[in-house]
Structure formats: C-alpha cells, structure tokens
C-alpha cells in the first residue's frame, strides 16, 4: 500500500514513498532527515510537532503524511535564510531573550510565533498568550518566550519602517 | 498506528460506494485530528479510511443569506468558521466559543462536519449548535439511489460517540437558521488543565421581551453521555421574569434534570453542582450581551 506523494518542502519540489498510516513528522524525519518537528505529547496539545501546511500551522503528529500530497510544507528549518544561514528575527529574539532551556519545544514556538506575527504584527500580551496557548514548554520559559515575541515584533516593525 | 488503506474518491457516489454500512473498520476521514488520536491510542484500527478531501459537494465554504441563515460546508476547517465575518456578525457566540476550543493548529485542520459526525460528547460546538437550532444535510444511498435528508443537530446524537448516521452516510453541510433577536452563550468547565476536555459544557440561547423570557434553549454536554437539551428547564424559563432568582431556579432545575456521569473529570455529584452554577451563569451572560446572538 505504498504510495508516492509529491509536495513542496521548504521551497523545494520533493517526492516521498509513504504508507497511508505514516504521519507527517515520521516522514519529515525518516525521508528528509528534518528533525525540527518532533513528537512529544502525541496528542496535538504541546506544539512540538508544528509544521506549516499551505501556510497554516498543523500538528504534524496528528496529520496524515498522505494529506500533504500537492501541498506546500514548511518546517522550522526554513526560517533561517537559505543562502546566508542568517537566523530570522524571531529566532534571534528567542536567543536574546533566553526563551528556552532544553530547547525541545523551541521549533514549535518559533513557527507559531512567526505565524502569530504574520497575523498580528503588533500583538499585545493577551494575543501572544492566546496564540501560543497550544504550545507547552516543560522548562516553563513562558515569560522569556513572551518577551521574545514582543522583541521580535519591535524588530520587525523597525525593519519594515527602515 | 496499524496499517490501513486510504482512498481519496473524487465523487460522492464513489465515496458512498467505498463506505461499508456493515463494517466498523471502514470510516470516512475529514481533518482527522480526532480519528488520529483514536488510531494512535489503538482504540480504532481501521482497515480502510475514505478521505473526504476531494469531494466538491462537502467542500469548505461559508454562505449567509439575506435573512441571516448560514450554510457551512462540512469540510470547512473550524479556523475558517472562527475567522468568518458572516459568522461573527450573525452568531458571534461561535467565534467566542472557538477561542477555547483546543488550539489553533487543531482548529486549522479539524472540520465542522467531522466535529459533529464524531459524536464525542466533550466537544464544544455540538451543544452550542443544538442551542442555535442548527441542522445538518446528510447524504447517503437509498439502495442504488443517492439520497439526502436533513437532521436537526439535536437529533444527531444517540449516545456516547454514537450518532444516527449510517456508516455510509456523510454530513454534507451545516445550516444555522436566522437567530433573530435570540441571544446565546456557551461556557465550559475544565477541571484539569485549561486545554483538557471539559467536565461540563453549557449552551443557552434565549429571547426576552422587556423583563420576561419569551423562549429558551438550554443544552448540557460533557457531563452527560451526549449533548442534551434540558426541556424542563426551558419550560421553566418560558415566560419567567429575568432576575437573580430566575437564574438560581434554572440552575437548580438543571442540576435536577441533567443526567450527569462520573468520570476522571469529576463525580456525577460534583458535575451536578457545576451544572447548577454554570447554567445560571450562562443565562446571565446571554442576557447581558448586547442584543445580537452572543
């Protein structure tokens, strides 16, 4: 029951041989060696497996890989500039604010924070808390994560004005 | 997860033919967020999943008529419903309830049809849609003939994870009737962490005239085996004067009428007390909202 799916992965056209019961995280790890999206709670609650499918954040552990056939998929690995490897403003802000300890949840927070700033370029604390409420950080770096999002928002604003 | 066959029919006829009215191992899959949980836990081991993603008849769409009725395609992700200006204008209680419905990623994938067809009594939208008097258009087969019927969301659920849908029937669309001057509220109580399934959901929709309630619909879920209207409470409310005494009486009557069940989220006795308090709160919130359905 193997099937071939074709999709765009971080801007590149790719194909993979998968089985219908494989989830998206398994395929990204096994077929493409992309380890940023990782399974933690396995129930869509913690956000460690966040992947963008056609521009929308999904829990990769609850998403059948077969369903990305023909889709545009982005992972945390696409946030840094492909040519220069320069980190994105959100990534830089997470480092500066010390918004992690063990780092296991960080890829999910980075993608969700990036989405958040697309939707709300100038978010207030309530919007940040609400948007990120589906991501869990077991080291409880929440205050630093919120500070990082605010910092990234200021940077983005300054960059777009400048 | 155990292996299964995945088929992605492009026509409704094909989809219904691929479903099997006698085989519980064959099921339709929409967004899949709820089914994936069941499959990962091993409580559902399908032999075949029939994806509904390529069926134009069910596709994501939201349309409002000039009289304020809403039609929502079954495959519409919850996030699209949440962000729809028409939904916000006609039934703002829906986007408000969505804020605490799972999380953004799940709402991006889970569909309105799947949410109803799953029959899970812990979900937030079924009780609310019952209070709003919504109905679903269901498509299936009658012998070799394609057939469709309308079912009130209220009549959809027959028990714990059980619905009146045949195994080869599909929800095609949801219809929410014009809400007129009715006002609504939905409250839920999570006794574990905030993102846990609720111990209780309460949805109310009511119309008032001056200081009197004209009519009310009161629905409880999660504490009960299925989302259930409390018709005794509704009768008590019809014609009642809006005051704190009325909220208290309605709460007492709801605690009496709701058939609460014990589970990991609380004992039946505790959920009865929650019902007593939250039915009153939901009524107060609905009546305090500013005219439109909240």
Query: What ipTM was estimated for this complex?
Result: 0.96
For chain A, give the percent of residues with pLDDT over 90.
94
Among A3, A19, A20, most B C-beta atoms within 10 A, so best to mutate, is A20
Per-residue pLDDT reduced to its tens digit, B150-204:
999 999 999 999 999 999 999 999 999 999 999 999 999 999 888 889 999 999 9
Fold of A89-161: DNA polymerase; domain 1 (1.10.150)
CB contact under 8 A, B36 and A63: yes
> Least CA distance to A49: which residue of chain B?
B105
Element (H, E) at A127: helix A125-131
- Chain A residues contacting B via beta carbons under 8 Å: 1, 19-21, 23, 42-45, 47, 50, 56-59, 61-64, 66-67, 112, 115, 130-131, 133-135
Is the CATH code 3.90.1300.10 the one for domain B5-51?
no
* C-alpha closest to that of B116 among B107, B124, B126: B126
Distance, CA of B17 to CA of B40 (rounded, Å): 27
In this structure, are residues B165 and B138 in contact, taking their beta carbons and an 8 Å threshold? yes
Chain A residues touching residue B108 (CB < 8 angstroms): 56-58
Q: What is the pLDDT of residue B254?
A: 98
**Nearest-neighbour CA in chain A from B65: distance (Å):** 28
For the sheet with B5-7, list strands across it: B5-7, B48-51, B26-29
Q: Which residues of chain B have pLDDT under 50?
A: 290-294
Fold of B183-288: Enolase-like; domain 1 (3.30.390)
Helices (H), A35-124: 89-97, 106-119
Distance, CA of A99 to CA of A93 (rounded, Å): 8
Structure tokens at B67: 């009289």
Q: What is the pLDDT of residue B144?
A: 64
Residues of chain A with CATH 1.10.150.120: 89-161
Per-residue pLDDT reduced to its tens digit, B13-34:
999 999 999 999 999 999 999 9
What does the mean pLDDT of chain A come to?
96
Helices (H), B91-242: 93-98, 104-109, 112-117, 125-131, 153-156, 231-237
* Nearest-CB residue to A44 (from B5, B77, B105): B105
Structure tokens at B100: 């605490």
Q: What is the pLDDT of residue A127?
A: 96
The answer on pLDDT for A3 being more than 80 is yes
Residues of chain A with CATH 3.10.20.30: 3-76
Q: What is the pLDDT of residue A162?
A: 54
What angle (nearest 5°) sits at the alpha carbon of residue B202, between those of residues B83 and B186?
25
Domain assignments of chain B as residue spans, ordered by start: 5-51, 56-176, 183-288
Pick the CATH number of B56-176 from 3.50.50.60, 3.40.50.2300, 3.90.226.10, 3.30.465.10: 3.30.465.10
* Nearest-CB residue to B105 (from A20, A50, A67): A50
Structure tokens at B157: 């659920």
The answer on pLDDT for A161 being more than 90 is no
Identify the CATH class of A3-76: alpha beta
């Amino acid at each position: 029951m193997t099937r071939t799916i074709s999709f765009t992965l971080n801007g590149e056209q790719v194909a993979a041989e998968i089985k219908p019961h494989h989830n998206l995280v398994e395929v990204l790890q096994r077929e493409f060696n992309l380890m940023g999206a990782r399974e933690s709670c396995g129930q869509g609650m913690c956000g460690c497996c966040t992947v963008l499918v056609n521009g929308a954040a999904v829990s990769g552990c609850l998403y059948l890989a077969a369903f990305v056939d023909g889709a545009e998929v982005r992972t945390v690995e696409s946030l840094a500039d492909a040519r220069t490897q320069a980190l994105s403003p959100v990534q830089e802000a997470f480092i500066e604010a010390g918004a992690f300890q063990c780092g296991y949840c960080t890829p999910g927070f980075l993608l969700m924070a990036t989405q958040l700033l697309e939707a709300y370029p100038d978010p207030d604390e309530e919007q940040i808390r609400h948007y990120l409420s589906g991501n869990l950080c077991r080291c409880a770096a929440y205050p630093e994560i919120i500070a990082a999002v605010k910092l990234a928002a200021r940077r983005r604003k300054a960059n777009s004005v400048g | 997860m155990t292996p299964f066959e995945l088929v992605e029919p492009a026509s409704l006829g094909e989809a219904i033919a691929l479903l099997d009215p006698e085989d519980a191992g064959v099921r339709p899959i929409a967004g899949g967020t709820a089914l994936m949980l069941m499959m990962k836990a091993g409580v559902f081991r399908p032999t075949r999943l029939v994806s509904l993603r390529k069926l134009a008849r069910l596709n994501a769409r939201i349309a409002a008529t000039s009289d304020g009725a809403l039609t929502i395609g079954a495959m519409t992700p919850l996030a699209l419903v949440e962000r729809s200006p028409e939904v916000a204008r006609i039934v703002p209680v829906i986007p408000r309830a969505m804020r605490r419905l799972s999380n953004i990623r799940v709402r991006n994938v889970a569909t309105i049809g799947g949410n109803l067809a799953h029959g899970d009594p812990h979900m937030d939208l079924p009780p609310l849609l019952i209070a709003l008097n919504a109905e679903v258009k269901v498509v299936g087969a009658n012998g070799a003939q394609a057939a469709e019927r309308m079912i009130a969301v209220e009549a959809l659920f027959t028990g714990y994870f059980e619905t009146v849908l045949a195994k080869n029937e599909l929800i095609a669309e949801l219809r929410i009737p014009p809400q007129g001057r009715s006002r609504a509220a939905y409250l839920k109580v999570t006794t574990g962490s905030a993102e846990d399934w609720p111990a209780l959901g309460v949805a109310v929709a009511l119309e008032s005239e001056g200081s009197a309630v004209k009519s009310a619909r009161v629905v409880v879920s999660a504490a009960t085996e299925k989302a259930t209207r409390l018709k005794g409470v509704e009768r008590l409310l019809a014609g009642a004067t809006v005051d704190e005494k009325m909220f208290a009486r309605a709460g007492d009557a709801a605690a009496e009428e709701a058939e609460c069940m014990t589970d990991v989220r609380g004992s039946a006795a505790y959920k009865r007390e929650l019902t007593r308090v939250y039915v009153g709160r939901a009524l107060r919130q609905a009546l305090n909202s500013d005219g439109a359905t909240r």
